Amino acid sequence: MKKTEARNDGILFLALDTYGRIGGIQRFNQRVIAALAEISGDKGWKRPAIHIMRDGKADIPETTAAEIRAFGRRRLGLIVHSAVAALNCKILFLGHINLLPVGLLCKLLSPRIKLVLFVHGDEVWNNPAYRRMRFYEPLMARALSPIASVSAFTASRMQKAFKLSAETFTLFPNAVDDIDRQPQKCGRNILTVARLDRHDRGKNIDALIKAMALLKRRNVECILQIVGEGPLRSELASLACELAVEERIEFLGHLSDGRLAEAYAQACLFAMPSSKEGFGIVFLEAWLHGLPVICGTEDAAAEIITDGVDGYAVNPWDIEALAERMAMLLADPDMAAAMGEAGADKVRSCYLMEHFKGNLEKIIAELP
């Protein structure tokens, strides 16, 4: 009992932009904040303190059960206020590897505090194409207990790059909110949803366009709809023209939640043969809409998808195999629907907010 009470004297969560941008890490951070607020309320602890860098005050929602401070670009302000807040906290969660030095400073000022780092994917893989590991990070990472990774794939990559013990890591999967699914239409649309920034070439949307060229030559009728915006759009459009499939490719740009739900309802399968997913939350979203999914074999998505059961995992550079799997799902709507339902069952069994909250409670309970 005494150990539990000692833990009740405060939780601090440091994050980078959380409400001012749209993205997977941003949604993850919002979910952490909501879960910490619920856990604290359930246990009668004081409200968690949330310090966010890059967000401005106007970005923060008015209704929240957590105490949120937005520091914009004021790095020194974040550091000073976090160091002071840490003196009255037992647990400090870090939302990004870039915040590790701030966490270590808090640990030096308050040695009893426990540091927990959330890791997502390429930010800790030490891949020069995305982010190089800072020389000081492996040593600093030894102060963490534990590192909460969204996937075993990301944990393994970070463990190797940072030369850490496997026991340092705990699995903490991402989650989605359940939905009321729209009635599915009998379309032949293949849907993919991705940012089209230059560093997102690893999503391999170009592989889908190349597969569409093979399907056209085999007289397989279908349309590829690409949701997302960014500099890669013009490059992908040029590729579609070069392969003479521009009439089969639709660039939908950014969509509202309502319009995106319509796109899912009109699709018959979801495909993104990425090689850079640290988890693959888009596959969970597609499953909730009843779609079978096609992922890549070279990243964390392959540990979420059960090949042949709720989708297919395909080598993203094997265009022939990718086109074959797409054609199989298009040709057998009953099989595709069964795979989509199997995926939806998996999401509701493992990847909803209740599971996210439970996993976070487990991390807190197991801190030494």
- Residues 203, 320, single domain; the answer is yes
Any domain includes 144:
yes
94 beta partners: 14, 117
Domain match, 170 and 29 both: yes
> Does residue 265 form part of some domain?
yes
Give CA–CA dist 45/168, Å, rounded.
27
Tokens at 157, concatenated = 């990559």
Is 182 a domain residue?
no
Residues 362, 35: contact at Cβ < 8 Å?
no
Distance CA 300, CA 220 (A): 30
Tokens 């401005």 label which residue?
56
In this structure, the answer to whether residues 201 and 224 fall within a common structural domain is yes
Number of separate helices (H) and strands (E) present in the chain:
14, 13
**Total length of the chain:** 368
CATH number at residue 238: 3.40.50.2000
Check whether residue 294 and residue 361 sit in a common domain: no
Q: Is 72 left (phi over 0), alpha (psi -120 to 50) or beta?
A: left
The one-letter amino acid code at 109 reads: L
- Calpha distance 349→178 (Å, rounded): 11
Return the pLDDT at 277.
95
Same domain, 25 and 104: yes
102 shares its domain with 250: no
| Contact predicate 178/348, CB 8 Å | yes
**Residue 183 lies inside a defined structural domain of this protein:** no
Same domain membership, residue 15 and residue 53: yes
On whether the CB atoms of residues 119 and 97 are closer than 8 A, the answer is yes
| Residue 16 lies in domain | 2-174+352-366
Which residues, other chains included, contact 127 with Cβ-Cβ below 8 Å and sequence gap of 6+? none
Q: Give the amino acid at 86.
A: A
Question: What is the number of structural domains in the chain?
Answer: 2
- Indicate whether 33 and 160 sit together in one domain: yes
Q: Answer whether residue 299 is part of any domain.
A: yes
- Asked if 96 and 15 touch (Cβ cutoff 8 Å), the reply is yes
pLDDT 10s digits, 120-179: 999 999 999 899 999 999 999 999 989 999 999 999 999 999 999 999 999 999 999 999
In a domain, 179, yes or no: no
Q: What are the Cα distances from residue 133, in Å, to 144, 158, 321, 360?
A: 16, 10, 34, 26
**Which residues are CB-contacts of 79 (< 8 A; sequence separation ≥ 6)?**
102, 105
Residues 337 and 356 in one domain: no
- CB burial of 182-217 (b: ≥16 within 10 Å; e: otherwise) equals eebeeeebbbbbbbbeeebbbbbbbbbbbbbbbbbe
Q: E strands within the chain?
A: 11-15, 49-52, 67-70, 91-94, 114-119, 144-149, 169-171, 189-193, 223-227, 249-253, 267-272, 293-296, 311-314
Q: Looking at the structure, do residues 207 and 163 belong to the same domain, yes or no?
A: no
> Do both 239 and 128 map to the same domain?
no
Q: Do the domain assignments include residue 331?
A: yes
In a domain, 184, yes or no: no
Question: Residue ranges of the chain with pLDDT lower than 70?
Answer: 1-9
- Kindly report the CA angle at 172 between 361 and 313, in degrees rounded to 5? 150
One domain, residues 53 and 125: yes
